[in-house]
A and B are shown apart, each in its own frame.
Chain A
Amino acid sequence: MSNLLCYHCGNICDNTLIAIEDKFFCCNGCKTVFEIFSENDLTCYYDFEKNPGAIPEEIQGKYDFLANQKIVEKLLEFNDNNKQVVSLYIPHIHCSSCIWVLENLHKLQKNIIASQVNFPKKTIRITFNSELSSLKEIVLLLSSIGYEPFISLEDYEVGKKKVDRTLIYQLAIAGFAFGNVMFLSFPEYFEVNEFWLDQYKPVFRWLMFFFSLPVVFYSAKDYFISAYKGLKSNLLNIDVPIALGVSVLFIRSTIEIIFNLGSGFLDSLTGLVFFLLIGKFFQQKTYSFLSFERDFKSYFPIAVTKINTDTSEENTQIYDVKKGDRLLIRNNELIPVDGILINGDATIDYSFVTGESVAVEKKSGDKIFAGGKQLNGIIEMEVLKSVSQSYLTQLWSNDVFSKESVSKFKSLTDTISKRFTIFVLSIATIATIFWLLYDSNKALNVFTAVLIIACPCAIALAAPFTLGNLLRILGKKKFYLKNAAVIEKLAAIDTIIFDKTGTLTSTKKNEISYIGKSLSAQEEEVLQNAIRISNHPLSRMLYDSFDVIKQVELDTFQEVVGKGIEASLNQTLIKIGSQLFVENCPTDNQFETAIHISVNGNYYGKYVFKNSYRKYMKQLFTKLQSSYNLSILSGDNEGEKEYLAKRLPKKVQFLFNQKPEDKLEYIKSLQAKGNKVLMIGDGLNDAGALAQSNVGISLSENINVFSPACDAILDASKFKNIKTYLGLSKKAIQVIKYSFVLSLCYNVIGLYFAVTGQLQPVIAAILMPLSSITIVVFTTVMTNILEKKLKD
């Protein structure tokens, strides 16, 4: 019986079995969803995938803010008379059943005109009749079937995002022109002084010219812009020789065509631009289900419930919350501002902020901070600071976040292109001087030929293809990088900093150990049944750690909020709770999280909750210590310092009690010493450090849950592979260097033809694509070999 799975959500059905016909459900929520579906002929939902559903959450009052027209208007994508369109992000979208049921929403609500799912982005676009329905109704409908949308402050601000598709257009036009120009210049490759060919030469050439115009002025324009910017800041980046090559190609070809001197090199020109753009396109790999740019806005709600002085409730936009306001925070809602708890018992989960999974208890009068999530019923709070001035959100006013992300990072390609450009220009000059003395007619010809053939197409392709390919390989291994440049930065890292809570420790598991006098069978029974009733997070955790529990009725049970539980059965009085609550409790270690126990007034012992460290932490540190400086930064107290120092290599530095700003400053100070810092963190409190570091990796137990802004997201299950991934980035740099050598070989061959003044268009048309293709094949094969070597 215990292995029975819920027909709707796939959870194990507990003792409480709810059944309809031959189907079992774990809770009433799941059963209700099933009933909704079966009433509306939507039971196909269960045919595509087994147990596809989710338990619908309690949402009473949560979406009341959608009655506020101002907020709704900001969320809508389109609003016209009686038709509204909205795009909602639904984290639960995960299988074909989800797509099916969400696209059949109109069967549940006839005012929905159409709904379309974007699976990779986990969004749904709903068109509905706004006269007969409202956004709130639709959100409630979605929530009632277990597809609760996630609406955050970010949705309120961003509005409509524009997708930049320029590169695709540029690529399409370059490809189109390349094909046609190749086709038109084909006859000239086999010039045989044939009458008809000579007759139509000008037509063909002028056509080629017109095809090349959009390529030079539209498709290749980014190279000119980048080269100009580079030169302006005294930097010879790779785009300088490219822009030079493209302009020389175009000008010389135009002159040749106008004065009927030859066919020009327009085939090479269009081919060159086409290949370069393919490289650029390949390097772009975006993970549509991830975002690397998040800040607190993606976590925070749009609106909160404000309690007016006349005790009426009102939904207010978060930015309108002022000091002194009274707010109502419901179960599972996020606290948006710093404040003082006024009413109710708060159990606040700060795991968003710190990564710490054990919730904290607060009494009325205590300060509570923005970013925490209330777990235990409704509370009232008084606002002390507005959103932007709260402890957590203040971090984002730091310069790191406002700076444009134009980094000073110089890529390998840029480094080599500087020498390359100087080298090419000197060869061109020497060759021209030589020919000026020898045969001045050919001098200009040779000068342009050198610049044309030396255009570093292959060099420019080496990095995009190697890094782009590696980006995909790492993506398969659950290491998601923001862009290809991150790989190069990773290869340069010499210092690694880890956050402790949530990064080195697992947020999922807690180690619970009992220290003290052992309990008798009967005492244990009382204990287990007492914590079974309690809703305190620590009780729940302890309860889950027991295997089989015999359920008995207790004689007395009393829970003192924020302190502990008192329960009795057959003259056994047991007290479970904090140090102050339990009698005769030794006050030795204030740092640890523990539940103390006393029976009939005698102190017995305590259950200690420890974050369990990730499995391969020690091995990873041992492997890393030889090549990197290591430190651990933690916002926690020093309670675990000894434990860690014993287990980790001596080289590792520890810093505790670090505020978010301290972490940021620490990294800054390391960078000032010339270190290249890799920060691995998880919570919002690491956001500053992640942004400041050269590479910030956010570790995530579940990549669909939000992670702070960073350069890369690593699935927590791959924690032990960090060393391997770092090694891989170094090998990728090696591959790029080999490709440089290879493409230089082609350049030398080309230069031979150019310098000796015998560069024919056909030679250029063969050499350029050939060198590009060689590089593409070489880098692809090499990176695939690297992938093969990776096991797991």
Chain B
Amino acid sequence: MSVIYLLLTLSILVALVFLIAFIYSVKKGQYDDSYTPSVRMLFDDELVKEKKKTNLKTDTNTI
């Protein structure tokens, strides 16, 4: 059997995986709100910073 069959099957399988992944994510509503996540992902950073700042301050005080 020629290797081309194997290659064709593999390539189509990979493509199918992506298609299914895309349809699944649309179905789950991942593309419904394209704005809020972009804001949300910035929050944690700022919160962490805030905590770190206070930590640093207390650290320097104790030293």
Please list the residues of chain A having a beta carbon within 8 angstroms of any beta carbon in chain B.
Answer: 44, 47-48, 96, 99-100, 103, 116-121, 163, 165, 168-169, 172-173, 176, 179-180, 200, 203, 207
- Scoring B residues 34 to 48 as 1 if CB is less than 8 Å from chain A, else 0, what string do you get? 111001101100110
In-complex Cβ contact of B32 among A163, A169, A173 (8 A): A163
Q: Are A100 and B43 in contact (CB under 8 A)?
A: yes
Contact A176 to B15, CB < 8 A, known contacts A47-B46, A165-B27: yes
Q: Which residues of A contact B39 (CB under 8 A)?
A: 96, 99, 119
Q: Are A103 and B40 in contact (CB under 8 A)?
A: yes
Q: Are B32 and A99 in contact (CB under 8 A)?
A: no
Query: Which applies to chain B's interface (DSSP): helix, strand, loop or mixed?
Result: helix
Q: Which 10 interchain pairs have the tightest Cβ spacing?
A: A119-B36, A118-B33, A176-B19, A96-B39, A119-B35, A120-B35, A168-B26, A100-B43, A99-B39, A172-B22
Q: Are A180 and B15 in contact (CB under 8 A)?
A: yes
Q: Which residues of A contact B26 (CB under 8 A)?
A: 165, 168-169, 172
In-complex Cβ contact of A120 among B22, B33, B40 (8 A): B33
A377 CB, min distance to chain B CBs, angstroms: 40
Q: Are A118 and B22 in contact (CB under 8 A)?
A: no
A188 CB, min distance to chain B CBs, angstroms: 15
Q: How far is the CA of A44 from the CA of B54 in the complex (A)?
A: 14
Please list the residues of chain B having a beta carbon within 8 angstroms of any beta carbon in chain A.
Answer: 2, 4-5, 8, 12, 15, 19, 22-23, 26-27, 29, 31-36, 39-40, 42-43, 46-47, 50
Q: How far is the CA of A176 from the CA of B27 in the complex (A)?
A: 17
Residue contacts A-B, CB under 8 angstroms, 12 given: A47-B46, A48-B46, A103-B40, A103-B43, A120-B35, A168-B31, A172-B22, A172-B26, A173-B19, A176-B15, A200-B2, A207-B8
Q: How far is the CA of A180 from the CA of B18 in the complex (A)?
A: 13
In-complex Cβ contact of A121 among B31, B33, B42 (8 A): B33
B46 CB, min distance to chain A CBs, angstroms: 7
Q: How far is the CA of A172 from the CA of B20 in the complex (A)?
A: 10
Q: How far is the CA of A103 from the CA of B40 in the complex (A)?
A: 9
Q: How far is the CA of A120 from the CA of B38 in the complex (A)?
A: 12
Q: Are A44 and B46 in contact (CB under 8 A)?
A: yes
Q: Which residues of A contact B31 (CB under 8 A)?
A: 168
Q: Are A117 and B32 in contact (CB under 8 A)?
A: no
Q: Are B50 and A44 in contact (CB under 8 A)?
A: yes
Contact A172 to B23, CB < 8 A, known contacts A103-B40, A180-B15, A200-B4: yes
Q: Which residues of B contact A165 (CB under 8 A)?
A: 26-27
Q: Which residues of A contact B15 (CB under 8 A)?
A: 176, 179-180
Q: Which residues of B contact A121 (CB under 8 A)?
A: 33
Q: How far is the CA of A57 from the CA of B12 in the complex (A)?
A: 59
Q: How far is the CA of A118 from the CA of B31 in the complex (A)?
A: 11
Q: How far is the CA of A173 from the CA of B20 in the complex (A)?
A: 10
What residue in chain B is nearest A95 (Cβ atoms)?
B39
In-complex Cβ contact of A203 among B8, B36, B43, B46 (8 A): B8
A219 CB, min distance to chain B CBs, angstroms: 12
In-complex Cβ contact of A119 among B33, B42, B50 (8 A): B33
Contact A120 to B4, CB < 8 A, known contacts A172-B26, A176-B15: no
Q: How far is the CA of A121 from the CA of B35 in the complex (A)?
A: 10
Q: How far is the CA of A633 from the CA of B58 in the complex (A)?
A: 70
Q: How far is the CA of A515 from the CA of B42 in the complex (A)?
A: 59
Q: Which residues of B contact A169 (CB under 8 A)?
A: 23, 26
Q: Which residues of B contact A44 (CB under 8 A)?
A: 46-47, 50
Q: Which residues of B contact A47 (CB under 8 A)?
A: 46
